[in-house]
Structure 1
Amino acid sequence: MQSEAASHAEFSAIRYAQCWEDADILLEGLEIKAGDTCLSIASAGDNTLAMLAKGAGRVIALDLNPAQLACLELRVAAYRELSHGELLELIGSRQSTRRSDLYRRCRPLLAPDNRAFWDAHPRQVEAGIGGAGKFERYFALFRGRIMPLVHSRNTIQQLLAGGTAAEREVFYRQHWDTWRWRLLFHVFFSRFVMGRLGRDPSFFRYVQGSVADRILARTRHALTVLNPADNPYLQWILTGRHTSALPFALRPENFEAIRANLDRLEWHCLPLEEFLEQEGAGSIDRFNLSDIFEYMSGENYQRLLERLLESGRAGGRLAYWNMLAPRSRPECLADRLKALPEMSARLFNQDKAFFYSAFVVEEIL
């Protein structure tokens, strides 16, 4: 079975230098148990590493893009070699004047290809490896060029300070939701601009309707229903670093658990379909599938889902996001895969990575 995404999208440079999916809801949905075998779409590695903190016996990271695996391997080296505070500096979560020195300490732990990759990107290292991807540069453009036309730095700081739910709602209506905000948001997060500057244009292949309208509605949810003071994804978008919150894998209380379990992690530059053929039936307990179904037709989604069920164990779980293309278990698979709509909806309502339109958790029967 061939990968549809691989046939349409370009995979060479770093697309995502961070994982823009909320590990808190992922881990709660998957309910990883000690000794579980977990498969994870690598992205930049953050959520794959987060799974180690839950005691998984084996975590397998896959990606079509070797640059994404270079991000993961450098993170693994950083967990091994650096302190927690130094890791935050290297990522860019905290300010630093010594990232090149921190990289040099990690460098001997990298495979030759990944060492050569990062050696060729010294400016990205110096700026913080969490900002080195196309998607992060897209947000940097939004932060540097669009936001100054919309709100002052003081207004942004007030937003990120959070407050009670009532205070957040009043602030949004009275100070944030201006005509200029809505206009420039619709331009910058249009299908055309996102396709050229943020995500690969092929990733919108199966998307219908207004992209900006859907993302704006979710953004309002993140700024009012959720607390910006607790949202590391929003903080990075608006400031270029983490201010009062960190993603799961970067929190100090999870650092040692991840470091202690790094030997349980493996990574492969392979299509998911090819790996499943190699691994065999009944071998995986938990699947972090990111938003891979976004990039394939409904027919190919169903075929891949059937293949995942063959590789999964009874009682195992799948978790994945929809951004704009709706994907969830078809009725023809109801005897093999149990939808968990209440859990999915509850977790989606807590999703701090707010640009998705759905979070789906399903259980293998």
Structure 2
Amino acid sequence: MDNFFSTIIYSASNEDSLSELKALQLTSQDTVLTITGSGARALDLLIDGPKKIISIDMNKRQNFLLHLKIQAYQQLEYCEFKAFLGLDDCDDRLAIYDQLKNGLTSDAKQYWDNESDKIQKGVLYCGVWESYLLKLSWLTKFRASTIEQLFNAATLEEQSNIWNNQWDGFFWQQFIKILNVRWIWKYLLKEPGIDLIDKKLHIGRYIHDRLTHVVGHQSVKKNPFLNLIIFGKYNDDCLPLHLQACHFDTIKQSVEKIETVTQPIDEYLNENPDSIDAFSISDFSSYANKQQYQSIWRSVMLGAKKGARICERFFLVNYQPEKIEGVNIKRNVELEQKLLDQDHSFIYSFNCAKIEQDTEHN
């Protein structure tokens, strides 16, 4: 786990924050707590205009990445912003960085001054996870013709037929089996939460089933997460919310609302009781054992204002927070199912809930 926090793990968006926006229904009075990761969630949540976003991560380098993205929003126009991050070709990213760096905190500036290779390549794809996806995308070259047909299908019916008749065959089934080999996740992918996953869960089969669902219900061409997985990058026709031109000015004008914190989430909430209106806490269950998970949720109850809304994601590790002693929430099962069906990042299930207990009496 220590190695997990020694570099930038996530740099792009592997979630569909439209689900968080639907679940949290943010207002201009809300203080939101989110986990930083790539910074995508914090930036996406600005679209609905909350009062403040506290973006927290134990990995200070993830916060350094968000600091740099914030400066890019503040100082650049959209075309230059896209080029600097890595969406478009650019020959002078280091020159642009020289323009941005004076706005960084001293720690963030020191970090990025020593990471010129990441800046030159475009920081959007500099994370460990993104480098894995880029390597995996090389394997798709063997199915290039089928992938081209899949991504150019005119209808969902045509898309499903291509998937069922041309993709979902012998070689894909072998790959599904490989995905269930846990030492690959642990030692090659260095996934720190692999030991937390139920041994009875067939990881490959789960991912297969979720992929089959999304191919039957969504245009894969317009799915940013699928483009990232298949091609190792986004395309201009399907970008995460915070990278879309239509949201650029809104985010540019409000990035000062983001406060970054480098600290365990439970420590922060214990120090700041009754302070949070909405939680976008991603899939922290993937990296927390049962005791840690319960401790964090008790801290959520302490830090939450009465009636606070919560959007939590689950990936392979699916706890039941409502059964934890001291946790009093009401889950919206109907909304959870709707988001499971519609979310572009189809690997996740959801906990959409509201705090029912008066936190002043916790």
Give yes or no for TM over 0.5: yes
Superposed CA RMSD: 2.0
Contact 1:329 1:339 in 2 (8 A): no
Contact 2:64 2:111 in 1 (8 A): yes
Please, which of 223, 234, 237 is the counterpart of residue 231 of structure 1?
223
Paired AA for residue 165 in structure 2: Q
Distance 1:157 1:110, change over 3 A: farther
- TM-score norm. by structure 1 comes to 0.90
Answering whether residue 241 of structure 2 is matched by residue 251 of structure 1, we say no
Matching residue of 1:177: 168
1:65-214 equivalent positions in 2, closer than 5 A:
65-144=59-138, 146-149=139-142, 151-152=143-144, 154-187=145-178, 190-198=181-189, 200-208=190-198, 209-214=201-206
Contact 1:339 1:362 in 2 (8 A): yes
What secondary structure does 1:330 align onto? helix
Please, which of 348, 351, 355 is the counterpart of residue 364 of structure 1?
355
Contact 2:176 2:205 in 1 (8 A): no
Answering whether residue 261 of structure 2 is matched by residue 271 of structure 1, we say no
Deviations 1:301-326 (A, max 9, x none): 23321221121112211111111111
What secondary structure does 1:69 align onto? helix
Partners of 1:271 and 1:187 lie apart in 2 by 34
Contact 1:222 1:354 in 2 (8 A): yes
What secondary structure does 1:10 align onto? helix
Paired AA for residue 182 in structure 1: Q
Matching residue of 1:261: 254
Once the 2 structures are TM-superposed, how far is the Cα of residue 26 of structure 1 from its aligned partner? 1.1
Deviations 1:212-247 (A, max 9, x none): 221122122233322112111111222232222010
Distance 1:285 1:349, change over 3 A: same
What secondary structure does 1:354 align onto? coil
Partners of 1:229 and 1:89 lie apart in 2 by 22
Unaligned 5+ segments in structure 1 are 1-5
Partners of 2:117 and 2:180 lie apart in 1 by 27
- TM-score norm. by structure 2 comes to 0.91
Contact 2:329 2:355 in 1 (8 A): yes
Partners of 1:332 and 1:266 lie apart in 2 by 30
Matching residue of 1:42: 36
Partners of 1:179 and 1:313 lie apart in 2 by 52
Partners of 1:28 and 1:229 lie apart in 2 by 23
Once the 2 structures are TM-superposed, how far is the Cα of residue 202 of structure 1 from its aligned partner? 2.7
Once the 2 structures are TM-superposed, how far is the Cα of residue 333 of structure 1 from its aligned partner? 5.9
Partners of 1:102 and 1:177 lie apart in 2 by 45
Partners of 2:100 and 2:341 lie apart in 1 by 38
Please, which of 296, 307, 321 is the counterpart of residue 299 of structure 2?
307
Partners of 2:283 and 2:258 lie apart in 1 by 21
Contact 1:294 1:327 in 2 (8 A): no
Distance 1:255 1:307, change over 3 A: same
Once the 2 structures are TM-superposed, how far is the Cα of residue 117 of structure 1 from its aligned partner? 1.7
Contact 1:134 1:197 in 2 (8 A): no
Tell me the matched-pair count: 353
Please, which of 278, 281, 288 is the counterpart of residue 280 of structure 2?
288
Paired AA for residue 253 in structure 1: C
Please, which of 315, 326, 346 is the counterpart of residue 318 of structure 2?
326
Once the 2 structures are TM-superposed, how far is the Cα of residue 188 of structure 1 from its aligned partner? 5.2
Once the 2 structures are TM-superposed, how far is the Cα of residue 346 of structure 1 from its aligned partner? 0.3
Matching residue of 2:360: none
Partners of 1:189 and 1:218 lie apart in 2 by 15
Partners of 2:95 and 2:150 lie apart in 1 by 35
Distance 1:178 1:272, change over 3 A: same
Once the 2 structures are TM-superposed, how far is the Cα of residue 335 of structure 1 from its aligned partner? 7.8
Once the 2 structures are TM-superposed, how far is the Cα of residue 57 of structure 1 from its aligned partner? 0.5
Contact 1:94 1:242 in 2 (8 A): no
Paired AA for residue 247 in structure 2: N
The runs of at least 4 aligned residues of structure 1 exceeding 4 Å deviation read 332-335
Matching residue of 2:233: 241
Unaligned 5+ segments in structure 2 are 357-362
Partners of 2:301 and 2:5 lie apart in 1 by 27
Contact 1:135 1:197 in 2 (8 A): no
Contact 1:19 1:44 in 2 (8 A): yes
Partners of 2:74 and 2:160 lie apart in 1 by 43
Distance 1:234 1:189, change over 3 A: farther
Percent identity, aligned pairs only, is 24
Distance 1:19 1:197, change over 3 A: farther
Once the 2 structures are TM-superposed, how far is the Cα of residue 41 of structure 1 from its aligned partner? 0.3
What secondary structure does 1:314 align onto? strand
